[in-house]
């Protein structure tokens, strides 16, 4: 047998085996990258699904909050304003009755004046709840300061407020969300946390603003927070989402709560 022929056959076999090996390796790599990419895409889809579901929950919370607010305002208008105006109308009708004594006339007039005054006062309260006049006229700083004073005087708690930020007046619509977040946090501290001291501080955070909120209430297990979100917290999250900000909670049982949100 010709040695040259044998050597050429061996070379051909080596080339064939090498080519076959690289073909198999290429197929394995293609399959590996295909399934890896598929797995990555699947995780991205799952992540998007979770984000979409979270957005749905936030939207639902916004709608539920709006409906609850509308129901409360409608109830206030019906039970308070409307009922008082009905009595005013009745008293006004009585004034047209003949043969009324001077005492009866004075009593009816006094009723009309008293009820009208109460109706005006309550209508101002409803308007204040919708958009606080101080917030609209003087901005977020003045609005939060007034809110803290209201809680300190009416709720028998101590609320400390410090502001190191200059807020732009043109951002009033966005600042209304910040105001409502503070309002919700104060209410939660009072109702659920049984807190007697709360502190609010606005500080610069690069191009953003950071709000630091603390209380001395009973606190909660923040590890279980994700499974125990009520309408109030969902409402806060929906407002943070609107502001394109971020929100963090830290708390332990009997150690109060620390909240940071950036907007």
Q: Around Cβ 27, how many Cβ atoms within 10 Å?
A: 10
Instruction: Please indicate whether residue 154 or residue 114 has the higher confidence score (pLDDT).
Output: 114
Q: Are residues 21 and 81 in the same domain?
A: yes
Q: Are residues 1 and 110 in the same domain?
A: yes
Q: Are residues 107 and 181 in the same domain?
A: no
Q: What is the pLDDT of residue 137?
A: 84
Quickly state the pLDDT bin for 157 (edges 50, 70, 90): confident
In this predicted structure, the answer to whether residue 174 has a pLDDT above a threshold of 90 is no
In this predicted structure, the answer to whether residue 155 has a pLDDT above a threshold of 80 is no
Provide, rounded to the nearest whole percent, the portion of the chain with pLDDT above 90.
17
pLDDT digits (tens, 9 = 90+) for 226-256: 545 555 677 788 888 888 889 988 888 878 8
Interval 9-38 mean pLDDT: 81
Domain count of the fold of the chain: 2
In the chain, which residue ranges form alpha helices assigned H by DSSP?
Answer: 3-76, 83-94, 102-130, 133-138, 140-154, 172-191, 231-242
Provide the whole-model pTM: 0.58
Q: What is the pLDDT of residue 262?
A: 92
Q: Around Cβ 61, how many Cβ atoms within 10 Å?
A: 22
Measure the CA angle with vertex 244, ends 241 and 250; round to 5°: 65
Instruction: Please indicate whether residue 137 or residue 123 has the higher confidence score (pLDDT).
Output: 137
Interval 253-263 mean pLDDT: 88
Q: Are residues 143 and 121 in the same domain?
A: no
Q: Are residues 96 and 138 in the same domain?
A: no
Q: Are residues 170 and 242 in the same domain?
A: yes
Question: Which of residues 130, 146, 179 is at a domain's end?
Answer: 130
Question: Which of residues 102, 130, 158 is at a domain's end?
Answer: 130
Q: What is the pLDDT of residue 4?
A: 54
Q: What are phi and psi of 216, to 5 degrees?
A: -110, 30
Instruction: Please indicate whether residue 180 or residue 73 has the higher confidence score (pLDDT).
Output: 180
Long-range Cβ contact pairs of 118-126 (< 8 A, separation 24 or more): 118/84, 119/80, 119/81, 119/84, 119/85, 119/88, 122/76, 122/80, 122/81, 122/84, 123/81, 125/76, 126/73, 126/76, 126/77, 126/81
Q: Around Cβ 69, how many Cβ atoms within 10 Å?
A: 13
How many Å is the Cα radius of gyration of the chain? Answer: 34
Q: What is the pLDDT of residue 227?
A: 47
Q: Are residues 199 and 138 in the same domain?
A: yes
Q: Round to whole Å and give the CA distance between 22 and 14.
A: 12
Instruction: Please indicate whether residue 166 or residue 223 has the higher confidence score (pLDDT).
Output: 166
In this predicted structure, the answer to whether residue 138 has a pLDDT above a threshold of 50 is yes
Q: Round to whole Å and give the CA distance between 53 and 84.
A: 45
Question: Which of residues 130, 149, 177 is at a domain's end?
Answer: 130
Q: What is the pLDDT of residue 223?
A: 61
Q: What are phi and psi of 166, to 5 degrees?
A: -100, 115
Measure the CA angle with vertex 71, ends 189 and 188; round to 5°: 5
Interval 153-170 mean pLDDT: 86
Interval 48-64 mean pLDDT: 68
**Averaged pLDDT score across all residues of the chain:** 80
Q: Are residues 7 and 72 in the same domain?
A: yes
Range of the domain at 70: 1-130
Q: Are residues 12 and 122 in the same domain?
A: yes
The CATH number that applies at residue 214 is: 3.30.565.10
DSSP letters for 57-100: HHHHHHHHHHHHHHHHHHHHIIIIIIHHHHHHHHHHHHTTSSS-
Q: Round to whole Å and give the CA distance between 140 and 168.
A: 9
Most confident of 48-57, 79-88, 225-234: 79-88
Do 19 and 25 touch, CB atoms closer than 8 A?
Answer: no
pLDDT digits (tens, 9 = 90+) for 192-215: 888 889 999 999 998 899 999 999
Q: What is the pLDDT of residue 135?
A: 84
Q: Which residues is 158 bridged to in the sheet?
A: 197
Quickly state the pLDDT bin for 145 (edges 50, 70, 90): very high
Q: Are residues 63 and 190 in the same domain?
A: no
Q: What is the pLDDT of residue 26?
A: 84
């Amino acid at each position: 047998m010709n040695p040259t022929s044998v050597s050429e056959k061996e070379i051909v076999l080596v080339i064939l085996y090498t080519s076959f090996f690289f073909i198999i390796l290429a197929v394995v790599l293609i399959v590996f990258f295909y399934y890896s990419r598929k797995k990555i895409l699947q995780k991205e889809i799952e992540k998007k699904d979770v984000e979409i579901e979270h957005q749905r929950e936030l939207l639902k919370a916004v709608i539920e909050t709006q409906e609850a607010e509308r129901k409360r305002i409608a109830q206030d208008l019906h039970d308070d304003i409307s009922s008082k105006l009905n009595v005013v109308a009745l008293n006004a009708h009585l004034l047209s009755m003949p043969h009324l004594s001077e005492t009866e006339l004075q009593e009816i007039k006094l009723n009309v004046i008293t009820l009208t005054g109460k109706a005006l006062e309550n209508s101002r309260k409803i308007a204040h709840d919708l958009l606080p006049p101080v917030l609209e006229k003087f901005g977020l700083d003045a609005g939060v300061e007034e809110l803290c004073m209201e809680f300190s005087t009416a709720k028998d708690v101590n609320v400390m407020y410090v502001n190191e930020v200059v807020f732009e007046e043109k951002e009033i619509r966005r600042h209304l969300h910040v105001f409502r977040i503070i309002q919700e946090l104060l209410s939660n501290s009072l109702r659920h946390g049984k807190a007697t001291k709360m502190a609010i501080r606005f500080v610069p955070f690069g191009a953003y603003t950071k709000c630091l909120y603390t209380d001395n209430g009973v606190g909660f297990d923040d590890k279980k927070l994700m499974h125990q979100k009520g309408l109030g917290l969902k409402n806060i999250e929906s407002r943070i989402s609107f502001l394109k900000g971020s929100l963090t909670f830290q708390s332990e049982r009997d150690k109060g709560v620390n909240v940071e949100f950036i907007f």
